[in-house]
Amino acid sequence: MKERELVIVGGGPAGMAAALAARAAGVEDVLLLERDQYLGGILNQCIHPGFGLHHFKEELTGPEYADRFIRQVKEDPGIEVSLRSFTVKLTKDKELSYLRPGAFEEVKAGAVILATGCRERTREMIPIPGTRPAGVYPAGLAQKMVNLEGWLPGKRAVIIGSGDIGLIMARRLALEGIAVKAVIEIQGASRGLVRNVVQCLEDFAIPLYLRHRVRAIRGRDRVESVEIARVDGDLKDIPGTDLEIACDTVLVSVGLIPENELLEMAGAEMDRRSNTPIAPEINRTSIPGIFACGNACKVYDLADWVTRDSELAGKMAADYLGSLA
Amino acid sequence: MTCIACPQGCFLEVETDGTSVIGLSGHKCSRGAVYARQEIEAPVRTLTTSVLARGMDLKMLPVRTSGPIPKGKLAEAMDAVKRITITSPVKAGAVVATDLLGLGADLIATRSLNKL
Ligand SMILES: Cc1cc2nc3c(=O)[nH]c(=O)nc-3n(C[C@H](O)[C@H](O)[C@H](O)COP(=O)(O)OP(=O)(O)OC[C@H]3O[C@@H](n4cnc5c(N)ncnc54)[C@H](O)[C@@H]3O)c2cc1C
């Protein structure tokens, strides 16, 4: 089995920052595995501005923010980037298996950093009764379809959840000429940034229904409407407040969940509820020499903080490798 | 009003005489003052969207306006952007369309587009 000094899984902002920081801290050989055909991770679909204000002191879009790191990673002869490389296995002894077009590879790493990001919570993870018609999408998937594939999901949309992804998608759909009928939020305030509430909803006169819950999604083959109701302080429906909103599309934006199957496979201790590693310190796991950073470690709001903390992960991996030598 | 010059979202107390700002409090930095005047007198936004590409490595090229444009012109700007199709390589930062709708802002690629 081939031996590598440091193997990083995931080429989003977390993996790239960790790779560059590990190199700066003296690691000579880094293998960066990314399952997609591009580096950048989720940033490629986040075409809106709002990135880099802290890290670069200027406002960039997601692809621009990613590009700053992609350039540095590509120029560094000590970082080997392997695209279309899907890591399928990790053991506690830091042996990794990955698939790339036409090959199944196995490597043994001195240290491993998992920067595999998040997955979206789906409709199935929050109970919404009703039928199961077409037209219901996780908001991040819709973001990918609209921004990368140029495909519009419908004509009249309702968005469930007012976190940043929900808000950003409300504006995105509105700009594309889709009537965004409502954003539904069960809490008393949006969970997103204030500027997103202003720029994404108020600018387009999109109604935000706070303290409202979606009671049901209706429709035979395609979504026809959603039924909402006001909730009280205990999140129970208030009788007589039902409202039906006609729409053909529902975007569900109800949070992210770290993608940590590899860590679980390696036998690391996990917090079942948040799906994050249990460790005394950020970026660490219960297995020495296996680190987790970025959205795989905890769900971040801002890519800038992912960069900052993942640089620390690169440094920690370098220190660990140094302590072995 | 809420300042959206950066993600902090300061709450600004703004006093106006109907058309311009005469009093301001609540801002944590000087950008708040600039924002309040701008938002009262002529609100602007930077537009980000994507442009159709044909025969290239991406189906859609992400773009932004080089500077903010009047908020009321966003829909018209989107219509103009939708008429564009890109069929040759573009570098990140390159101009895709000059002076969009005569508003003084160019349309800029935010990612590189390459041949297949
Ligand atoms: C839909 C969505 C929208 C978001 N919008 C914003 C926003 O507007 N502004 C903001 O600041 N933040 C936003 N975020 C948060 C954003 O995810 C983080 O700020 C940051 O991009 C996370 O970086 P990361 O590198 O940890 O994860 P990601 O960017 O998700 O990168 C993880 C990478 O790992 C790869 N990968 C995963 N598993 C494997 C495997 N087994 N083998 C090989 N490769 C693998 C993935 O392909 C991906 O490229 C959004 C997140 C999501 C999910």
What domain count does chain A have?
A: 2
**Residues A112, A18 within the same domain:** yes
The rounded mean pLDDT for chain A is: 95
pLDDT band with cut points at 50, 70 and 90 for residue A217 = very high
pLDDT band with cut points at 50, 70 and 90 for residue B9 = confident
Q: In chain B, what residues touch A175 (CB-CB under 8 Å)?
A: 47, 49, 74-75, 78
Complex ipTM, two decimals? 0.90
**Residues A242, A186 within the same domain:** yes
HSE-CB of B77 using CA atoms within 13 angstroms: 30
In this complex, the residue of A61, A177, A193 whose CB is nearest that of residue B64 is A61
Measured CA to CA, the distance from residue A16 to residue A69 in angstroms comes to 6
Q: Which among A115-129, A171-185, B35-49 has the top mean pLDDT?
A: A171-185
Check if A141 has its Cβ closer than 6 Å to any atom of ligand 1.
no
Q: Which domain holds residue A100?
A: 2-119+257-324
**Residues A67, A167 within the same domain:** no
**Residues A179, A272 within the same domain:** no
* Alpha-carbon torsion (B29, B32, B37, B42), positive or negative: positive
Q: What is the DSSP letter of B101?
A: G
Q: Residue A97 maps to which CATH number? A: 3.50.50.60
Domains belonging to chain B, first-starting first, are 1-42 (no CATH), 48-109 (3.10.530.10)
Q: What is the mean pLDDT of residues B80-99?
A: 96
pLDDT band with cut points at 50, 70 and 90 for residue A285 = very high
Atom of ligand 1 minimally distant from the CA of A42: 29
pLDDT of residue A124 exceeding 80, the answer is no
pLDDT digits (tens, 9 = 90+) for A40-90: 999 999 999 999 989 999 999 999 999 999 999 999 999 999 999 999 999
Q: What is the mean pLDDT of residues A207-215?
A: 96
A47·B110 Cβ contact <8 A:
yes
Q: What is the pLDDT of residue A283?
A: 98
Check if A252 has its Cβ closer than 6 Å to any atom of ligand 1.
no
pLDDT of residue A264 exceeding 80, the answer is yes
Q: What is the mean pLDDT of residues A293-319?
A: 97
Decide: A185 and A164 in contact? Cβ < 8 Å.
Answer: no
A39, A83, A198, A302: best to mutate for the B interface, most B CBs within 10 A: A198
For residue A83, the one-letter residue type is: L
Q: What is the pLDDT of residue A126?
A: 65
Cβ of residue A147 closer than 8 Å to a chain B Cβ: yes
**Residues A266, A229 within the same domain:** no
Domain-terminating residue out of A221, A237, A252: A252
Between residues A174 and A133, the one the model is more confident about = A174
Domain-terminating residue out of A213, A233, A252: A252
Q: Which two tokens stand for residue B74?
A: 């966003």
pLDDT digits (tens, 9 = 90+) for A189-204: 998 988 899 899 999 9
Nearest residue to B53 (alpha-carbon basis) of B19, B90, B16, B23: B90
Q: What is the pLDDT of residue B40?
A: 86
Q: In chain B, what residues touch A147 (CB-CB under 8 Å)?
A: 50, 60, 62
User: Distance, CA A40 to ligand 1 centroid (Å)?
Assistant: 8
**Residues A316, A272 within the same domain:** yes
pLDDT of residue A128 exceeding 80, the answer is no
**Residues A247, A218 within the same domain:** yes
Q: What is the mean pLDDT of residues A172-195?
A: 94
pLDDT band with cut points at 50, 70 and 90 for residue A209 = very high
Q: What is the pLDDT of residue B73?
A: 95
pLDDT of residue A25 exceeding 70, the answer is yes
**Residues A95, A113 within the same domain:** yes
Nearest residue to A8 (alpha-carbon basis) of A324, A257, A321, A268: A321
**Residues A187, A209 within the same domain:** yes
Domain-terminating residue out of A252, A269, A290: A252
Chain A closest-CA separation from residue B73 CA (Å): 11
Q: What is the pLDDT of residue A325?
A: 77
SS (H, E, C) chain A: CEEEEEEEECCCHHHHHHHHHHHHCCCCCEEEECCCCCCCHHHHHCCCEEECCCCCCCCEEHHHHHHHHHHHHHHCCCEEEECCCEEEEECCCCEEEEEECCEEEEEEEEEEEECCCEEECCHHHCCCCECCCECEEEHHHHHHHHHHHCCCCCCEEEEECCCHHHHHHHHHHHHCCCEEEEEECCCCCCCCCHHHHHHHHHHHCCCEECCEEEEEEECCCECCEEEEEEECCCCCECCCCCEEEECCEEEECCCEEECCHHHHHCCCCEECCCCEECCCCCCECCCCCEEECHHHCCCCCCHHHHHHHHHHHHHHHHHHHHHHC
A175·B49 Cβ contact <8 A:
yes
Check if A115 has its Cβ closer than 6 Å to any atom of ligand 1.
yes
Q: What is the pLDDT of residue A186?
A: 94
Cβ of residue B59 closer than 8 Å to a chain A Cβ: yes
Beta bridge partners of A231: A237
Which of A275, A291, A295 has the most ligand 1 atoms within 8 A of CB, as the residue to mutate?
A295
Measured CA to CA, the distance from residue A246 to residue A55 in angstroms comes to 43
What is the SS3 assignment for B56? strand
User: Distance, CA B40 to ligand 1 centroid (Å)?
Assistant: 37
The rounded mean pLDDT for chain B is: 92
